[in-house]
């Protein structure tokens, strides 16, 4: 029986890169997002062509009711979730210096990027534990997609950095709590990835890559993140719970 992966924000950007690589690895996919299903139909068809079952669940994971409905709907459709990928996230609607940033923006970003995945993990983890008690050899894991912004300070989007730093701690907390059930929890910290989220700052980062910002002087691609997620999801990192893998082309390597 094929394993099931639930990927939030799985129909575009980094989430889609992860979905493609997990589909190639043989996973059936449960994808969630806020858009109408009709608008993501071409993506769903593309993924289904890889030979796996693909289902889309319209959901805002920052909302309590939506999270519960999502988990119930996925369980009804697939029976269980082997891999949860907490990928959905937003940038501030307007980049503002922290001296001028608003509480409204802070609350919105933290609600989506931190509170949502934290409590979605709670729901899914309890289901995983339930199955683990009955089938101890069943493989489960949780993958949090954060950002190098968990440790890199950007003073014009402080709420985003704080949300990702929170995800980094959440990874450690869930890894610690789920250790007794042999459910590993991982974190991926992408660097600058070419997606619609970064399209507005393309020229800025083109120049920074040319000037040596990263050791590998190119944009990261969604599939770069997807390949790392696939290694985690397929059990290729069985003794590395709580660990962070940076997919940033060496940007975070300290150099002289």
pLDDT digits (tens, 9 = 90+) for 41-59: 999 999 999 999 999 999 9
State the pLDDT at residue 203.
86
For residues 12 and 30, the answer to whether their CB atoms sit within 8 Å is no
State the pLDDT at residue 205.
86
| Adjacency order of strands within the sheet including 141-145 | 54-58, 28-33, 4-8, 83-86, 141-145, 185-190, 244-247
Residue 199: pLDDT above 80? Answer: no
Tokens coding 56: 């889309």
How would residue 142 be classed by pLDDT, with cut points 50, 70 and 90? very high
Q: Is 8 helix (H, G, I), strand (E, B) or coil?
A: strand
For 110, residues 6+ apart whose C-beta sits below 8 A from its C-beta are 159, 162, 163, 166
State the pLDDT at residue 108.
98
User: From CA 50, how far away is CA 26, in angstroms rounded?
Assistant: 9
User: From CA 161, how far away is CA 150, in angstroms rounded?
Assistant: 5
CATH topology of domain 4-246: Rossmann fold (3.40.50)
**Residue 11 half-sphere exposure toward CB, CA atoms < 13 A:** 23
User: From CA 116, how far away is CA 119, in angstroms rounded?
Assistant: 6
Mean pLDDT score of the chain: 96
Residue 70: pLDDT above 90? Answer: yes
160-165 contacts, C-beta under 8 A, 24 or more apart: 160/91, 160/92, 160/109, 160/113, 162/106, 162/110, 163/89, 163/109, 163/110, 163/112, 163/113, 163/114, 164/113, 164/189
Mean pLDDT of 118-122: 98
pTM metric for this prediction: 0.96
């Amino acid at each position: 029986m094929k394993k099931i992966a639930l990927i939030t924000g799985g129909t575009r950007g980094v989430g889609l890169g992860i979905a493609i690589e997990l589909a190639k690895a043989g996973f059936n996919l449960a994808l969630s997002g806020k858009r109408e299903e009709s608008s993501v139909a071409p993506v769903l068809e593309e993924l289904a062509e890889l030979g796996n079952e693909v289902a889309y669940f319209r959901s805002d994971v920052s909302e309590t009711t939506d999270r519960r409905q999502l988990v119930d709907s996925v369980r009804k459709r697939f029976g269980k979730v082997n891999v949860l990928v907490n990928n959905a996230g937003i940038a501030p609607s307007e980049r503002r210096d922290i001296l001028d940033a608003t509480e409204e923006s802070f609350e919105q970003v933290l609600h989506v990027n931190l509170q949502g995945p934290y409590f979605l993990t709670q729901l899914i983890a309890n289901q995983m534990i339930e199955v683990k008690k009955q089938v101890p050899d069943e493989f489960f894991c949780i993958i949090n997609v954060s950002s190098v912004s968990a440790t890199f300070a950007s003073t014009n989007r402080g709420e985003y950095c704080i949300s990702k730093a929170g995800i980094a701690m959440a990874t450690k907390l869930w890894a610690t709590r789920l250790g007794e059930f042999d459910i590993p929890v991982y974190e991926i910290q992408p660097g600058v990835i070419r997606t619609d989220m970064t399209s507005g700052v393309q020229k800025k980062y083109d120049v920074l890559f040319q000037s040596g910002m990263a050791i590998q002087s190119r944009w990261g691609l969604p599939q770069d993140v997807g390949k790392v997620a696939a290694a985690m999801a397929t059990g290729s990192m069985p003794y590395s719970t709580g660990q962070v893998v940076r997919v940033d082309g060496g940007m975070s390597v300290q150099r002289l």
